[in-house]
């Protein structure tokens, strides 16, 4: 016997949003606290010492700027993928989703180059408090990028079969995946100046 989860493709009469969407927002709230704790750790480490390095002196600002642009562009493509479904255009949805996933891989490749340079010079999380928090926060953010790639690739591939039978529900799934992806972008918007430019 299968149990149908209520209000996943139509708004709940009490909240006014689908349970799926509310669930994603609650998940994102927990993610805010996760990254908030790490930002708090960063501030704690920074306030505890007098000599803290400037990010622009020891990190690669041009590469990080490139990654910022890539991630911002992917935020537009994922919202355009959702908008394409709202306009009943599946092929355009696919194009935008492919672009989103491509941007995710570019971001990871650039990050890998950045990490590679550090490791080549013998720099690791054990080098200093700055590098410890740098690798932890950017590493966790990178894991979120990988999570996003898995979800988006599923929705582009086998998950898109739902479009034929339940288009509203599929559009809702893309909206939820998009919310997660925008959150990943939001985290980077703060990480970039705090780690690289101060």
Partner 1 sequence: MASGHMSVEEVKKHTRIYWVIFSSLLLLTGVTVGISYIHLPFTYAVILALVVASTKASLVALYFMHLISEKAVIYFTLALTAFFFVFLIIIPWFIPWDFATH
- Interface ranges with partner 1 (CB under 8 A): 11, 15-18, 21-22, 25-26, 29, 32-33, 36-37, 39-40, 43-44, 47-48, 56, 61, 65, 68-69, 72-73, 75-76, 79-80, 83, 86-88, 172, 175, 178-179, 182-183, 185-186, 189-190, 192-194, 196-198
Residues 72, 185 contacting (CB under 8 angstroms): yes
Question: Minimum distance between the CB of residue 1 and partner 1, rounded to whole angstroms?
Answer: 29
Count Cβ atoms below 10 Å from residue 95 Cβ, excluding itself. Answer: 15
Q: Which of residues 79 and 137 has its CB atom nearest to partner 1 in the complex?
A: 79
Q: Shortest gap between Cβ of 146 and partner 1 (angstroms)?
A: 21
The span from the CA of 178 to the CA of 17, in Å, is 16
- Residue 65 or 124: the one with the smaller Cβ distance to partner 1 is 65
Q: Cβ of residue 75: shortest distance to partner 1, in angstroms?
A: 5
CB of residue 95 to partner 1, shortest distance in Å = 14
C-beta closer to partner 1: residue 8 or 158: 8
Closer residue to partner 1 in complex, CB, 1/33: 33
Q: Alpha helices, DSSP H only, in 4-86?
A: 19-47, 55-58, 61-86
What is the distance between the alpha carbons of residues 39 and 191, in angstroms, rounded to a whole number? 9
Helices 167-191 & 19-47 angle (0-180, nearest 10): 10
User: Tokens for 32?
Assistant: 């805010």
**Which residue from 194, 192, 191, 159 is spatially nearest to 177, judged by alpha carbons?**
159
Which residue, 25 or 154, has its beta carbon nearer to partner 1? 25
For residue 54, give the H/E element and its range.
none
């Amino acid at each position: 016997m299968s149990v149908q989860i209520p209000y996943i493709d139509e708004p709940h009469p009490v909240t006014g949003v689908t349970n799926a969407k509310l669930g994603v927002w609650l998940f994102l709230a927990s993610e805010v606290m996760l990254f908030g704790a790490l930002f708090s750790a960063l501030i704690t480490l920074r306030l505890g010492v007098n000599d803290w390095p400037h990010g622009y002196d020891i990190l690669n600002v041009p590469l990080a700027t490139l990654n910022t642009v890539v991630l911002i562009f992917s935020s537009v493509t994922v919202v355009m993928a959702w908008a394409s479904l709202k306009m009943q255009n599946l092929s355009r949805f696919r194009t935008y989703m492919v672009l989103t996933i491509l941007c995710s891989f570019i971001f990871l490749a650039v990050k890998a180059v950045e990490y590679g340079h550090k490791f080549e010079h013998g720099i690791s999380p054990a080098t200093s408090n700055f590098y410890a928090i740098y690798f932890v926060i950017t590493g966790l953010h990178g894991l979120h990028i990988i999570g996003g790639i898995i979800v988006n690739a599923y929705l582009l591939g086998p998950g898109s079969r739902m479009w034929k039978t339940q288009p509203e529900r599929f559009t809702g799934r893309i909206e939820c995946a998009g919310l997660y992806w925008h959150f990943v972008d939001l985290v980077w918007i703060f990480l970039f100046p705090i780690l690289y430019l101060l």
